[in-house]
Structure 1
Amino acid sequence: MINNRDPHAELHSEQGAMAGEHPGRARDPIVRVHDLAWLEFEKPDLDGAERFARAFGFTTAASTPDELHLRGTDPGAPCVLIRRGRRSAFTGPAFRAADSGDVLRLAEATGRRAVKLPESLGGLAVDLVDPSGLRVRVVSDTNELAELPAQAPLRLNVGHRAVRTNATQRPVREPARVQRLGHVVWQTTTYRETLDWYLDHLGLIVSDFLYYPGQRERGPVMSFIRCDRGATPSDHHTLALALGPANRYVHSAYQVADLDALASGGEYLRDQGYHHSWGIGRHIQGSQIFDYWRDPDGFMVEHFSDGDLFDDTLEPGWAPMTASGLAQWGPPATKDFLGIAPGPQVLQELRTVVGALRQDNEFDVERLRGLVKVAAS
């Protein structure tokens, strides 16, 4: 007997909230940011960081002995700023405000001071700290880098619609050209408090909530959050927040032209000896085609293409969190991606879990049971 049941039928999140659940947005946020501006890191080896960045598809916008700016082909600010440090660390995101008035309004509301950024970046910034302890920068009026030549998507013969005749497809095995920064994922022990902070302060709105199976009544444990630009569509998520045993960076994602750019770029990275984490596949929440890699410092980075865009009219979806629900198609999520690969990191993770359970936060024993079920699903 053929089983025609869709295994993802209960994992898609077109189903909405039930009475009394989180609305996914603030009634009167202080400001409404427009996008991520860039991400900031510290690393001891800037040369190694730049070699990987070029293989991944970034272009170097600026380089000094102590600082590296990486950009995509789209106009605007750099995607990533890396400063020389004694250890590798993610130091925080920068969000782009609509204008300097929003930066000043946010500074006044939080008792912070707006300051001018260095001439290499230009503009105005205010530095905040979210409830998890992450430094969050909001900027405006930064220098505009000119657009670079982009990697053109391939012309595809789709079904019976032929747009290419007397010509072959031969994608070059070369770095996928990063177009722009898409999103960053952050894990926190204070998920609900941190989520509300971003909605209240930056005007972000939730596209999708995930909850541990059997624990919906306790509320969500992950949210995919987009910028509220009114009728102008924005990425399904600019920030994703997840409950976990530590406050830490999970991954960041960068858009490329299409599937062939992503796949050929992945082959190039593999040829250069870099570590593949998971992919290629297509996500459920956000719908992106994805491929995950780790840089030499262990930070996970994602190539993506064909992601969802939502305006401000869509309400949050709700779905159970499972490992099998991470993708509509593609290989199963790897232990490396899930953070459970054998090795010293597993022992460190166990210490982190024990430490979190001893503290007063949202990650308790019941939540731990839910997380274990997700990893085993």
Structure 2
Amino acid sequence: MTQRLLTHLRHVDLAVPDYEAQLDFYRGLWGLVPVAQDPGISFLAAEGSPEHYVVRLRRAEEKRLDLLSFGAATRADVDTLAERLLARSVPLISRPDTLQTPGGGYGFRFFDIDGRTVEVSTQVEARRHRKIEEKESIPVRLSHVVVNSPDIAATRAWYERHLDFALSDAIGSPHTGDVMNFMRISSQHHSLGIAAGPHTSVHHVSFEMRGLDEFMRGTGRLLRAGAHMTWGPGRHLAGDNTFSYFLDPHGNTLEYTTEMETLDEDTWHPHQYTFMDDDVSDQWGTANPMTEVIAKEQHNDVDRGVFVAPPV
């Protein structure tokens, strides 16, 4: 098995025009907690996670993905990855150095093949967190992120070659080719998903709940509050995780999930699923059918941050 330099997904950073509405949604309804704020920027943590924050919100004129952040084990691993990317002509935004964001640490940023900003860091201060109790319908941690790519094969190959991601499973058909690749950097089935889309954008950001009861309670809490649920509740086949998808105030798709599959990486072989099989989308058969309207919502708006480094 490849000795990876990445360990896990740390946080997802979003920029939005209506910052106050977005902040109210994430901290009030979605269940995250602010840990640091400056004018026009907030850092939000999940109560059950040691990560200093899992979502950063920033006020901006245009909606965009600011960055995806992944962890590494040591400074040496961060330096090794930076040198590897430089040697392969991957455009770096910054060189490894002390980070100025809450929790500190040591890291650097670069562009992926589609122009997303990616950050890799280590030695970030762990946050004091707590056990999520029975019936608490708030996120334990950030689970995974799925991005849209206009060339799913090229994006998958880039993450495999440069960041040592491995394919866990794929969904597609003989007529369309792959429409979703589930990629891992640990025994968790996926930390990153790559979806075939018409443009570069965020497909969805997923948050882990304590268990099935808390997952359903969270789904119900958002429905009672009038949040727009696009798809769910159900249970996917790839990853075997549950899903309820909602839209935040700026049209980004968010997911409550639980019970993501853990793999034996030494023996695992990727499945090639077809979306023509209803069980692939939803094993339970409880979710509303996937439609073109839902798919379009998950395509999201064109990301205006492609190959433009965020100002913070």
TM range (shorter): 0.7 to 0.9
2:263 equivalent to 1:326: no
CA contact (8 A) 2:5 2:81 kept: no
**Given residue 246 of structure 1, which amino acid in structure 2 is its aligned partner?**
H
What SS does the aligned partner of 1:251 have?
strand
1:59: how far off? 1.6
Change over 3 Å in CA distance of 1:145–1:241 after alignment to 2 = same
1:243: how far off? 2.0
Equivalents in 2 of 1:281, 1:198: separation in Å? 29
1:8-37 CA distance string (max 9 Å, x none)? xxxxxxxxxxxxxxxxxxx867x4311101
2:71 equivalent to 1:89: no
CA contact (8 A) 2:65 2:116 kept: no
**Given residue 305 of structure 1, which amino acid in structure 2 is its aligned partner?**
T
1:137 to 91, 98, 119: 119
CA contact (8 A) 1:115 1:125 kept: yes
1:110: how far off? 1.9
Change over 3 Å in CA distance of 1:340–1:145 after alignment to 2 = closer
**Given residue 186 of structure 1, which amino acid in structure 2 is its aligned partner?**
V
2:21 equivalent to 1:48: yes
Equivalents in 1 of 2:62, 2:42: separation in Å? 16
Alignment partner, residue 213 of structure 1: 174
Cα RMSD (Å): 2.5
Alignment partner, residue 35 of structure 2: 61
Q: TM-score, normalised by structure 1?
A: 0.71
**Given residue 185 of structure 1, which amino acid in structure 2 is its aligned partner?**
V
Change over 3 Å in CA distance of 1:322–1:63 after alignment to 2 = farther
2:73 equivalent to 1:98: yes
Alignment partner, residue 269 of structure 2: 315
Alignment partner, residue 89 of structure 2: none
Alignment partner, residue 14 of structure 1: none
Equivalents in 2 of 1:257, 1:33: separation in Å? 25
Equivalents in 1 of 2:101, 2:200: separation in Å? 32
Equivalents in 2 of 1:92, 1:203: separation in Å? 19
1:271: how far off? 2.5
Matches within 5 A, 1:4-153: 31-53=4-26, 54-72=28-46, 73-111=48-86, 112=92, 113-152=95-134
Matches within 5 A, 1:364-375: none
Matches within 5 A, 1:101-250: 101-111=76-86, 112=92, 113-152=95-134, 176-214=137-175, 220-228=178-186, 234-250=187-203
2:263 equivalent to 1:290: no
CA contact (8 A) 2:23 2:57 kept: no
Change over 3 Å in CA distance of 1:179–1:210 after alignment to 2 = same
Equivalents in 1 of 2:277, 2:205: separation in Å? 19
Alignment partner, residue 251 of structure 1: 204
1:115: how far off? 2.5
1:311-332 CA distance string (max 9 Å, x none)? 3211211122337331111223
Equivalents in 1 of 2:18, 2:277: separation in Å? 34
CA contact (8 A) 1:77 1:121 kept: yes
**Given residue 45 of structure 2, which amino acid in structure 1 is its aligned partner?**
R
Larger of the two Rg values belongs to structure = 1
1:266 to 207, 219, 224: 219
1:339: how far off? 1.7
Alignment partner, residue 254 of structure 2: 301
1:189-213 CA distance string (max 9 Å, x none)? 1222211111122111111022323
What SS does the aligned partner of 1:198 have?
helix
Change over 3 Å in CA distance of 1:201–1:264 after alignment to 2 = same
**Given residue 299 of structure 1, which amino acid in structure 2 is its aligned partner?**
N
Q: TM-score, normalised by structure 2?
A: 0.85
Equivalents in 1 of 2:38, 2:65: separation in Å? 19
Alignment partner, residue 372 of structure 1: none
Equivalents in 1 of 2:289, 2:44: separation in Å? 29
Equivalents in 1 of 2:198, 2:288: separation in Å? 24
CA contact (8 A) 1:323 1:333 kept: no
CA contact (8 A) 1:209 1:220 kept: yes
Equivalents in 1 of 2:227, 2:175: separation in Å? 39
Equivalents in 2 of 1:322, 1:246: separation in Å? 24
